[in-house]
Structure 1
Amino acid sequence: MSYNIDEELIERIHDTVDLIDVVSKYIQLKKTGSNYVGLCPFHNEKTPSFTISESKQLFHCFGCGEGGDVISFIMKIENLSFVEAVRFIAEQEGIPIMEKNPIDHKLKLQKDLLYEINREAAKFYYLNLGQNREALEYLGRRNLNKDIIKRFGLGYAPDKWDSLKNYLIKKGYEEEDIEKAGLIGKRKDNTGYYDKFRNRIMFPIIDGKGRVIGFGGRVLDQTMPKYLNSKDTLIFIKGNNLYGLNLIKRNFNLNKIILVEGYMDVISLYRNGIDYAVASLGTAFTSNQAKLLKRLNKEIYICYDSDNAGINATIKALNILDKEGLNPKVILLPKGHDPDDFINKMGLKEFEKLIDNAFNPIDYKILILRKKYNVNDIDGKIKFVKEVSVILRNINSPVEREIYIDKIAKEMEISEDAIKKEVLGNNYKNESSFSKDKYIIGRNRYNKSKIAPIKAVLEPAHLTAEKMLIRLMLESRSYYNIIKGYLNEEDFLNYESNILAKIIFDEYEKKVDLMKIANDFILVKLKQEKDLDYDLIYEIMDLNVGVLPENKNTLIKDLIKRIKISKLEMERKKILNEIKEIESKNVKDEGDVERFKLLCLELTKLDKELQSHT
């Protein structure tokens, strides 16, 4: 469809559409003087700060700063582009849209006709539900009352071959158009048309604008396929829509969305108080559905069935959402459950506990692999590590990847280096060499006339953690504030890390905004230091920490813990060496004996402290 919008249409909207009437469909407004006020739909608040000027036909929120005219309001609240918002308002207010392009005009008329046919079909199914005892008894067994039936527009398709067709023809619609809506099909012998949906509970599929675009039908006669969905039409493509989207788009205060598999999952969750679930219409989750969720800008949870098919579908959905830059969580249901039966049997509180304990994508995938392999068996452990390495390899954030490598290494009792090699494959650097022989700091050029010989170097765990923490402190004062609560500059064991940490701590205390001037400023400061490894300095400066997960505080604390453990281990090693030195003496004086006792006490104290960190 053309993106051209007639200027006259925009003027007519501004002249005839009352902003107060439009906003009142979304929030409650109260007249105060010459203005109207209410709770802002764009952010959570308890005291109204959303104001509308009736004379100016403009809104403004003094809490979040959002403001504009009626088109701006619809763009924001419905997640629409300017053109889409203009069309939306025109359609809602009954303002004719004159398409400039004749082809677009014809296409719009065809779509409008299909919307009308579907709306009439939904009415027909809804009215027929009250006349069928079997259908009502089925819904009663599913604990669905009249309010829920009405809220979702549930209906019943009679067990006849032409009841809907005859109803719509009487309403004045042509058979060819009813077929285009996907509601009837041609008989094989070309003697006429038949109803596609027969003897089924009907679930209208409603888009974000409140239009019926298709149907899902649940069979009552077990001899037919359990669920039947509308075929793709001019106004309905299964992979581009989500069941329950119309309710989500009207729920402005929610901050999360749960993605489920079926119609009944959405309805049962809603009935029990979870009014923020959508379903993927009986199809494999698609990238277009992921884009729909992304536009809603909410926290996403996946809650598919707990069987093997549900697990596979969950992993596929996670991968699709990841490509869209989304970081969902997974609600893990007990074995043999789906969202519908779990919430009906266990109740809202138990389901909310599952939400609170939802897994991030990496933890979920690792959990599934643990169940797949017996890690107590050597062969199972090898297979587990190989598969989990593929998962870790795809983590964009080096910080997050490093944490998981360390975690898996400890749990599998395998060296961190071995796991790292498996994860990084050919990209694993087991050698240290200088790729640059010149470094420019401001206008000063540092030349390395001698290249260090290539040698195998395994980077200590504390150095990896130090590099990441320094990079994080350079990126944000908020990270610095967390880190300084646990470490001081002396805790950074590596020489270069220690120098950088001192500069960062000093400058932040002077209120310098390192985020804006970090690299150049730090490098100038380093000019006065001697014998620095600028390969390492540049490596830290160029380090990409990626997007940190939500639990960034926990992640940073894990890095801090790694440094503290390394420091304790170094002290322990030093004490052990001194103990061995005393033990190796053939003749020990009184001072050696006293020193030996003191070292043993220090060793015991260190071991206890180490144990508290692991």
Structure 2
Amino acid sequence: MPLPEDFIMQLKQNNPIESVMSSYVSLKRSSRDYVCLCPFHSEKTPSCHINVGKQFFHCFGCGAGGDVITFVMKAENLEYIEAVRFLAQRAGMSMPEEAKNNDLSRLKARILEINRMAARYFHQTLMKDSRGEKGRLYFKSRQLTVKTITKYGLGYAPDEWRYLTDYLKSQGCTEEELIAANLARHSQKGGVYDSFRDRVMFPIIDLRGNVIAFGGRIIDGEGPKYLNSSDTPVFKKSRNLFSLNFAKRSDERRLILAEGYMDVIAVNQAGFENVVATLGTALTPEQARIMSQYADEVIIAYDSDGAGQKATQRAINLLSEAGVRTKIIKMEGAKDPDEFIKKFGALRFKQLLDNSDGAINFRLSKCGNDLDLDSDTGRVEYLKRCVDVLSQIASPVERSVYISKIAKEQNISRDALELQVNSVIRKRINADKKQNWNEIRTFSEKRKTDPAAVNFPKEYKAEQGIIAYLCVHPEELSYVEKNLSPDSFLTEFHKKVYEKLISGMKESADFNILSLQSEFPADEMGKITGILSEAQTLELNRNAAEDYIRILNERREREQSAAPPSALSDDDFLSLAQKIRSRK
């Protein structure tokens, strides 16, 4: 049974799309509507538009689009029912009796349940089982308190091939479900065995309190130091952050970005709730955009070794693109936050945070690496690198301060340095505009690769035009339906949209095409919002509709006239023979 239409309507009214999207991206007013950087692909110039009146978004760069439910589905990686439930909770609404979840939704719910059982079993093993002694000794050596271990639900997986598998199967789980959850793997002999063995376990928990995955650290022996869950239907490494479920509760609009699980837990135990880490991979654009929802400033606390410094540079770039200020702490006498806190205490670490240097100074300090600054060639290359960094400073005042600093340091003309920086800025602005235009053009070209769009461009535009016309003029339903059959459509997608539009408008005078997100996947909803967005530039009147209908009907008539006559049935053949005989 589908969800009641009046419930969905109330849900959308209680969750205005501009309000929901403002929790994910920074919106800029554009006339009556808004524009923003698209949260679903990297860009520097906003190409995502939010139509406040019709309550939909559409990105002209990547083609994403839909209503508030579609947005949440894409942003949170949820199924339709899950996104509806998410928005209902946000608005304080009770869910009505739901339609039965589809197979994927049921599998997701099952994996979350299995993960919860696994996390509890790992934790009980650590805290109470004799086989958890090895894990207890490890966490004791890392100076973690029982309170912290309990807070994070830490556990231990013994060095046994089927320890977890046998337990979960005894609880009614199937081997296929354990494989899907990435808690077990197929053996060469056809059986299954545990994915995590002889490791201390770190449950990964999402913002809704669900255990979505695990990280396991080896204590001794052979194997990778950390083993993390692979992507599953409920978990995507690139879209989640460890301990964000705790960090989001912080009153500060700043986050500490650490390198690993133990660094995060040590910093949190020291009293800093606002700390997160990536999940075994380098920071991704998606994670940077997620962090921008909770912080205006991120302090990067990566290891002081070469790999950590390289990762810091990458993080600075991604966070900058997401509109987040960055600072970097310099840890002297320790290689990571965990070691620093153990040696110097929480107060010194707070001072380290408060005195952290800006990303600009960090990047400028790296410009001289591998250069002989006593030579003219080395100085010129150093200044080129500095110009590249300075040109990326958005604030003119801040940029001016650093230009003066470098000019004085290198004993060169400040005006000459500023002239060079401004030249690079102009080139970069032009390049960004060209890139964004190319992205939009590339997306437009992709849409044109539909065979119907290539072979029948006039009819293709007419199909989109008549759909847009009905959306703008629902009072014209009878006229359009009377004069245009769905069979006159060349493309199956447009035909399906037209049929759903007709049937929906017949059922309800308040029908909105965007309510079809339960019947169309997210990429097709993007195509629908693309039609609606382009409709704002068209003159959609009765004359235009007549042209669209004429173009489509004429095409159908030409196809019918060119088609060979169909074979006669036996009865029709006998009837025709009798008519011919009677004429003689």
Name the TM tier (shorter chain). Answer: 0.5 to 0.7
Find 1:265's aligned residue among 263, 266, 272: 263
**Structure 1 residue aligned with 2:105:** 108
For each residue in 1:473-524, what CA deviation from the matched residue of structure 2 results, as whole angstroms up to 9, or x when unmatched?
A: xxxxxxxxxxxxxxxxxxxxxxxxxxxxxxxxxxxxxxxxxxxxxxxxxxxx
Q: In the alignment, residue 178 of structure 1 is paired with which amino acid?
A: L
Report which structure shows greater RCO (CA 8 Å, sep ≥6). 2
Tell me the equivalent position of 2:221.
222
Q: Tell me by how many angstroms 1:146 deviates.
A: 0.9
Q: What RMSD, in angstroms, separates the aligned Cα atoms of the two structures?
A: 3.5
Task: Please state whether the residue corresponding to 2:325 is helix, strand or coil.
Answer: coil
Spell out the pairing of 1:457-496 with structure 2 (5 A cutoff): none
> Is the CA contact (8 Å cut-off) linking 1:421 and 1:428 kept in structure 2?
no
Q: Deviations over 1:399-435 (max 9, x none)?
A: 3333322211111112224423543457789xxxxxx
Distance 1:80 1:350, change over 3 A: farther
Note if contact 2:85-2:95 (Cα within 8 Å) is conserved in structure 1. Answer: no
Q: Distance in 2 between matches of 1:83 and 1:142?
A: 42
Inter-CA distance 402–113: structure 2 relative to 1 (3 Å threshold): same
Displacement of 1:290 in angstroms is 1.1
8 A contact 1:420–1:428 mirrored in 2: no
What displacement does 1:337 show? 1.1
Distance of 1:381 and 1:332 partners within structure 2: 26
2:85 matches 1:87? yes
Q: 1:404 to 1:254 in 2, by over 3 A?
A: closer
User: Aligned in 2, Cα 1:350/1:6: closer, same or farther, shift over 3 Å?
Assistant: farther
> Does the 8 Å CA contact 1:206/1:243 hold for their aligned counterparts?
yes
**Aligned pair in 2 of structure 1 residues 95, 222: CA closer, same or farther (>3 Å)?**
farther
Find the aligned partners of 2:4 and 2:289 in 1 and give their Cα distance.
25
Whether the aligned pair in 2 keeps the contact of 1:203 and 1:263 (CA below 8 Å) is yes
The question of whether the paired residues in 2 share the 8 Å contact of 1:99 and 1:105 is answered with: no
Q: Give the % identical residues.
A: 39
Counterpart of 1:289 in structure 2 is 287
* Count of residue pairs brought into register by the alignment: 362
Pick one of 272, 275, 294 that aligns with 1:274.
272
The answer to whether the aligner puts 1:144 opposite 2:144 as a matched pair is: yes
Provide the secondary structure at the position in 2 that maps to 1:289: helix
Q: Could you list the per-position Cα deviations for residues 349-404 of structure 1 after superposition, in whole angstroms to 9, with x for gaps in the alignment?
A: 11111111112221111123346545345443233212111111222333333332
Give 1:292 deviation, angstroms.
1.1
Query: C-alpha distance in 2, partners of 1:220/1:426?
Result: 50
Residues 1:84 and 1:332: Cα distance change in structure 2 (over 3 Å): farther
CA distance in 2: counterparts of 1:7 and 1:341, whole angstroms: 57
Which residue is 1:180 aligned to? 180
Pick which of 287-296 and 418-427 moved more: 418-427
Which residue matches 1:155? 155
Q: Does structure 1 conserve the Cα–Cα contact (< 8 Å) formed by 2:253 and 2:294?
A: no
Match of 1:282, as an amino acid? Answer: G
Cα distance change, pair 415–298 in 1 and its aligned pair in 2 (3 A)? closer
Matched residues in 2 for 1:5 and 1:254: separation? 40
What are the Cα deviations for residues 528-547 of structure 1, in whole angstroms up to 9, with x where unaligned? xxxxxxxxxxxxxxxxxxxx
Which of 365, 368, 391 is 1:367 aligned to?
365
State yes or no: 1:128 paired with 2:125: yes
Which residue in 1 is equivalent to 2:332? 334
> Which stretches of structure 1, 4 residues or more, deviate above 6 A after TM superposition?
9-12, 79-85, 89-97, 426-429
* SS of residue matched to 2:246: helix
User: How many angstroms apart in 1 are the aligned matches of 2:10 and 2:381?
Assistant: 66
State how 1:24-35 maps to structure 2 within 5 Å.
none
Q: Is the 8 A contact 1:206 1:246 kept in 2?
A: yes
Q: Which has the larger radius of gyration?
A: 1
Q: Distance in 1 between matches of 2:248 and 2:105?
A: 23
Give per-residue Cα distances to partners, 1:90-110, cap 9 Å, x unaligned. 68999766556x7x6332211
Secondary structure at the counterpart of residue 347 of structure 1: helix
Over 3 Å counting, the alpha-carbon distance change for 1:213 and 1:7 in structure 2 is farther
- Summarize the Cα distance change of 1:426–1:291 in structure 2 as closer, same or farther, 3 Å threshold: closer
Change (3 A) 1:197 1:392: same
Q: 2:116 aligns with which of 103, 113, 119?
A: 119
Is contact 1:10-1:86 (8 Å) kept?
no
Equivalent residue, structure 2, for 1:167: 167
* Aligned position for 1:389: 387
SS across alignment from 1:328: strand
Residue number in structure 2 paired with 1:42: none
Task: Give 1:254 deviation, angstroms.
Answer: 3.0
User: In the superposition, relative to structure 1, how do residues 111 and 80 fare at CA in structure 2: closer, same or farther (>3 Å)?
Assistant: closer
SS of equivalent to 1:341 = helix
CA separation of 1:84/1:428 partners in 2, compared to 1, >3 Å: closer, same or farther? closer
1:399-418 mapped onto 2 (5 Å cutoff): 399-418=397-416
Q: Cα distance 1:387–1:293, how it changes in 2: closer, same or farther (>3 A)?
A: same
Would you say the 8 A contact 1:187–1:194 is kept in 2? yes
TM-score (normalised: structure 1): 0.54
Q: Deviations over 1:131-181 (max 9, x none)?
A: 222211111010012111100000001101111111110110111011111
Distance 1:7 1:383 in 2: 65
Distance across 1 between alignment mates of 2:224 and 2:316 = 28
Gaps (5+ residues) in structure 2? 12-71, 428-584
Contact kept? 1:6, 1:98, Cα under 8 Å = no
Letter in 1 for 2:292: K
Counterpart Cα distance in 2 of 1:178 and 1:115: 11
